[in-house]
Structure 1
Amino acid sequence: MGMNMPAKKLKPFAKVESLIIDYNGSQVKAKKLTVHSEIPIGIDTAWNNLKTPALLKFVAKGMIKFRSVSEPFPKQWELGKTYGVKMRVFGFIPFGGIHYLFIEKIDDPNFKISTKEWDKGAKVWNHDVMMKDLGNGSIYYEDAITIYGGMITGFITSFAKKFYEHRQKRWQIVAEKNLRFGE
């Protein structure tokens, strides 16, 4: 055993649950996807990164490419604003038409961000991100997404599970390389 062992990669944990939600006045069958992991990064650095479109582009790289459909992305997400994006799976396959992200909540004291998102396929994509300081230079990081897409809800959820696991693995790179997008 060498003294310079590489840090252990912390694998994300994912869970999918069924639930009933209200969609346009009807009760519909949706899915709730929760993906969480421990990331060896300080909470302030992680939080400042999370509030930037630049981090989204980085953690999605290799799986989804985002392009704003109107003005360029801001340096930081803005509370109450809706962003329209075109997504390309693996960088070249169009997916979902225009995807809209409404920034519903940015809760600095509690390290939580909530978005309401939708597109042609995913009629509901409500995403909550939550972080907790573990006190050891690491954070608990959680993506919780409620997904409804009619008959393709299961397909969308399966894709989302792979995507969010990918994102959290890319967060490990952010931590390892001490990347800072919010400065």
Structure 2
Amino acid sequence: MRTIELATVLPADTAVVWDHVLQPRLLCFVAKGMLTFQPIAPREFPERWSADRFRVRKLLLGFIPIGWQDISIEFLPDQGRMHRLRENGCGWLIPTWDHTMEVEPVEGGTRYVDVVKIEAGVLTPIVVAFARRFFAHRQRRWLKLVEANFDYSTS
């Protein structure tokens, strides 16, 4: 099992950032350019995440099929002023993908943290290398979204 942790400070109110974490459209926005998630079951994403399991098809670069993933949402208890959402998923190539998003107020905005634990057998080093790039990409896309005042039509 390998763990990756990446953090960034978003120049935005913590309540607003947390509200967007709870929206599946954020996942689609921050992954755009690297991964596309297409809902399988249920057939459409809800407006907001609920404590439930969602199966998605994953496309690398938007067109290369790379299997399916179960997104299993769990709301973790707040720790002080920190909000946490856990996506404890698994997939076709990756038996363990345990991703926690943490949001807390700091001077200058909101500290946003991605922590992911990965186990993919012999593929673990490759998956970890990809995940490092993917989460850095996600955080750059987060900053872009905040700079666009949460306008999801920004590419």
TM-score of the two chains, using structure 2 as the length reference:
0.91
Find the counterpart in structure 1 of residue 54 from structure 2: 83
**Aligned-partner Cα distance in 1 for 2:85–2:77:** 6
Q: Which amino acid aligns with 2:137?
A: H
**Aligned-partner Cα distance in 1 for 2:151–2:47:** 12
**SS across alignment from 1:45:** helix
Alignment of 1:9-20 (within 5 A): none
Q: Which amino acid aligns with 1:101?
A: I
**SS across alignment from 1:127:** strand
Find the counterpart in structure 2 of residue 130 from structure 1: 102
**Aligned-partner Cα distance in 2 for 1:180–1:106:** 28
Q: Conserved in 2, the CA contact under 8 Å of 1:85 and 1:100? A: yes
1:119-154 residue CA offsets vs partner (Å, 9 max, x unmatched): 121110001110110143x11110000000000000
**Aligned-partner Cα distance in 2 for 1:65–1:120:** 15
Q: Which amino acid aligns with 1:98?
A: W
Does residue 66 of structure 2 align to residue 115 of structure 1? no
Q: Which amino acid aligns with 1:174?
A: L
- Unpaired segments ≥5 residues, structure 2: none
How many aligned positions are there? 149
Q: Conserved in 1, the CA contact under 8 Å of 2:82 and 2:105? A: no
1:3-50 residue CA offsets vs partner (Å, 9 max, x unmatched): xxxxxxxxxxxxxxxxxxxxxxxxxxx100101111111111100000
**Which has more radius of gyration?**
1
**SS across alignment from 2:82:** coil
Find the counterpart in structure 2 of residue 72 from structure 1: 44
Identity %: 28
How far did residue 106 of structure 1 move? 4.8
**Aligned-partner Cα distance in 1 for 2:136–2:77:** 24
Do the aligned partners of residues 107 and 51 (structure 1) sit closer, same or farther apart at CA in structure 2, a change above 3 Å counting? farther
**Aligned-partner Cα distance in 2 for 1:132–1:179:** 18
1:56-98 residue CA offsets vs partner (Å, 9 max, x unmatched): 000111110110013200000001x100000101001111x21
How far did residue 115 of structure 1 move? 1.4
**Aligned-partner Cα distance in 2 for 1:114–1:179:** 22
Do the aligned partners of residues 148 and 125 (structure 1) sit closer, same or farther apart at CA in structure 2, a change above 3 Å counting? same
Find the counterpart in structure 1 of residue 27 from structure 2: 56
**SS across alignment from 2:25:** helix
Give 1 or 2: higher helix fraction: 2
TM-score of the two chains, using structure 1 as the length reference:
0.78
**Aligned-partner Cα distance in 2 for 1:120–1:66:** 14
